[in-house]
Amino acid sequence: MASANRRRSNFPARTAGSLDRPGSRDQEKDEIWKPMLDNISSGKRLPEKSLLVLGGTPETQREFLESVSTDPSSNRRPPDRGRKPPVANQFALGYTYQDVLDTDHEDTLARLSLYLLANPSPSFTPLIKPYLNPRTLPHMLVVILLDWNHPWLWIRQLRDWIRVLRSLIVSLDDASKEVLEENISILQDKGRNLGSSEASSNSATENPKIPMGPGEWDEPLGIPLCVVCQNADKIEALEKERGWKEEEFDFILQYMRTILLKHGASLVYTMPSAPGSLRTLIHSTLGIRSLLKQTQLKPNVIDRDRVLVPPNWDSWGKIRIIREGFDVEGVSQKWSVDIDIPRHTTAVTNGEATTEEAPPTNGETEKQDGGPSATSIYEETIRNPEQDFALSALHSKQANGLEVASKDAQDFLGEQLQTLETLRRDDDNDQRNKAAKKKDDPAFRTWTDDASGVVEEHIGPVQFNMGGIQVNADEMVKRLQDREANRAASPEAPMTPPAHAQDPKMDNDKLASFFAGLINKGGNPASNSPRGGQ
**pLDDT of 198:** 40
Same domain, 354 and 478: no
265-307 confidence digits (pLDDT tens): 999 999 988 777 888 899 889 888 777 777 778 899 998 889 9
Report the domain count for the chain.
2
Q: Per the domain annotation, does 238 fall within a domain?
A: yes
Q: Report in angstroms the alpha-carbon separations of 304 from 245, 399, 448.
A: 12, 25, 63
Between residues 303 and 361, the one the model is more confident about? 303
Same domain, 99 and 246: yes
364-379 confidence digits (pLDDT tens): 446 666 678 899 999 9
Q: Among the ranges 14-23, 402-411, 438-447, 474-483, which has the highest mean pLDDT value? A: 474-483
Q: Per the domain annotation, does 255 fall within a domain?
A: yes
Q: Per the domain annotation, does 313 fall within a domain?
A: yes
Q: Per the domain annotation, does 26 fall within a domain?
A: no
**pLDDT of 204:** 45
Q: Per the domain annotation, does 3 fall within a domain?
A: no
- How much of the chain, in percent, has pLDDT values that exceed 70? 65
**pLDDT of 117:** 92
| pLDDT above 50 for 199 | no
Domain boundary residue, one of 391, 406, 430:
391
105-155 confidence digits (pLDDT tens): 667 788 889 999 998 888 888 889 999 999 999 999 999 999 999 999 999
CA 395-398-399 angle, 5° bins: 160
- In 3D space, the residue among 255, 424, 426 whose CA is nearest the CA of residue 338 turns out to be 255
Domain boundary residue, one of 369, 391, 413:
391
Between residues 71 and 65, the one the model is more confident about? 65
Same domain, 468 and 374: no
| pLDDT above 50 for 10 | no
**pLDDT of 517:** 73
pLDDT band at 522 (very low <50, low <70, confident <90, very high): low
447-474 confidence digits (pLDDT tens): 555 555 655 666 666 676 766 777 777 7
Q: Per the domain annotation, does 477 fall within a domain?
A: yes
Same domain, 466 and 327: no
**pLDDT of 102:** 72
What is the DSSP secondary-structure string of 319-371?
A: HHTTSTT--HHHHHHHHHHHTS--TTSPPPBTTB----SPPPPTTSPPEETTE
Q: What is the mean pLDDT of residues 306-313?
A: 92
Q: Per the domain annotation, does 29 fall within a domain?
A: no
| pLDDT above 90 for 6 | no
Reduced to 3 states (helix: H, G, I; strand: E, B; else coil), residue 300 is: strand
What does pTM read for this prediction? 0.62
Burial 431-466 (b: 16+ CB within 10 A, else e): eeeeeeeeeeeeeeeeeeeeeeeeeeeeeeeeeeee
Same domain, 49 and 143: yes
Q: By residue range, what is the domain housing residue 480? A: 462-491
Q: Per the domain annotation, does 182 fall within a domain?
A: yes
Between residues 433 and 144, the one the model is more confident about? 144
Same domain, 352 and 252: yes
Same domain, 124 and 250: yes
Same domain, 376 and 467: no
H helix or E strand, kind and range, residue 249: helix 246-263
| pLDDT above 50 for 488 | yes
Please list, in sequence order, all residues whose beta carbon lies within 8 angstroms of the beta carbon of residue 156, skipping any fewer than 6 positions away. 362, 375, 379
Q: What is the CATH number of the domain that holds 272?
A: 3.40.50.300
12-26, 75-89, 112-126, 246-260: the lowest-pLDDT one: 12-26
Between residues 488 and 464, the one the model is more confident about? 488
Domain boundary residue, one of 336, 367, 391:
391
CA 176-181-187 angle, 5° bins: 120
383-409 confidence digits (pLDDT tens): 888 774 444 444 444 455 455 667 888
**pLDDT of 341:** 73
146-187 confidence digits (pLDDT tens): 999 999 999 999 999 999 999 999 999 999 999 999 999 999
108-122, 253-267, 480-494: the lowest-pLDDT one: 480-494
Same domain, 119 and 222: yes
Same domain, 481 and 338: no
Q: What integer best gives the mean pLDDT of the chain?
A: 76
Q: Among the ranges 200-204, 403-407, 431-435, which has the highest mean pLDDT value? A: 431-435
